[in-house]
């Protein structure tokens, strides 16, 4: 399944944050001890993981699932079914429409998942949404994850 990716990035030391679209990259070079390789779309809420490769052409991005007690970069905080606008006949509504819906709904659920408002948190949001190609295969999954806004790793679940 090809998925889009978007990151919310911190605006620095101010209390205001901004959202920017970025390509996902990583510096992880080998399967960490205790990790299990799996597809991004196979993740469940509460799982922690690393992004080992940046292969936007991949049918299903591979990730390394780790126990949340181990250092990791991402945690799945919610899985949503796209429920926004569609094109007549159920066609793909377009990347911008799907991306906007995914971002708005992942941000809306942030405080409930993390326990504090996004503007006060040490975590940022990264979302994945269906591409036009995966939409044609009936993919409507939106994946909401959080990661340390410092760009490093964290241990333990985001909500104690």
The tens digit of pLDDT for each residue in 37-70 reads: 899 989 999 999 998 755 544 445 789 999 999 9
Helix spans in the chain (H):
95-108, 110-114, 132-135
Domain count, the chain: 1
Query: For residue 91, is it within any domain?
Result: yes
CB neighbours of residue 31 within 10 Å: 13
Residue 99 exposure: Cα atoms within 13 Å on the Cβ side = 16
Query: For residue 95, is it within any domain?
Result: yes
Query: For residue 3, is it within any domain?
Result: no
Distance of CA 30 to the CA centre of its chain: 21
Query: For residue 102, is it within any domain?
Result: yes
Give pLDDT tens digits along the chain (160 positions): 444 544 332 223 333 443 333 344 444 456 777 889 899 989 999 999 998 755 544 445 789 999 999 999 999 999 999 988 888 888 999 999 999 999 999 999 999 999 999 999 999 999 999 999 999 999 999 999 999 999 899 999 997 6
pTM confidence score: 0.77
Phi/psi of residue 103, nearest 5 degrees: -60, -50
Q: How far is CA 111 from CA 39, 42, 77, 137, in A?
A: 27, 24, 10, 32
Domain that holds residue 86: 35-148
Query: For residue 108, is it within any domain?
Result: yes
Query: For residue 80, is it within any domain?
Result: yes
């Amino acid at each position: 399944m090809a998925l889009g990716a978007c990151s919310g990035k911190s605006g620095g030391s101010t209390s205001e944050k901004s959202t920017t679209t970025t390509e996902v990259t990583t510096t992880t070079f080998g399967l960490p001890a205790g990790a299990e390789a799996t597809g991004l779309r196979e993740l469940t809420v509460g799982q922690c993981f690393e992004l080992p490769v940046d292969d936007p052409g991949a049918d299903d991005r591979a990730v390394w699932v780790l126990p949340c007690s181990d250092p990791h970069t991402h945690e799945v905080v919610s899985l949503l079914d796209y429920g926004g606008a569609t094109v007549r006949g159920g066609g793909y509504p377009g990347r911008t429409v799907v991306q906007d819906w995914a971002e708005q709904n992942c941000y809306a659920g942030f405080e409930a998942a993390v326990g504090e408002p996004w503007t006060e948190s040490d975590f940022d949001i990264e979302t994945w949404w269906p591409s036009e190609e995966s939409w044609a295969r009936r993919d409507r999954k939106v994946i909401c994850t959080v990661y340390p806004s410092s760009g490093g790793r964290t241990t333990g679940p985001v909500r104690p």
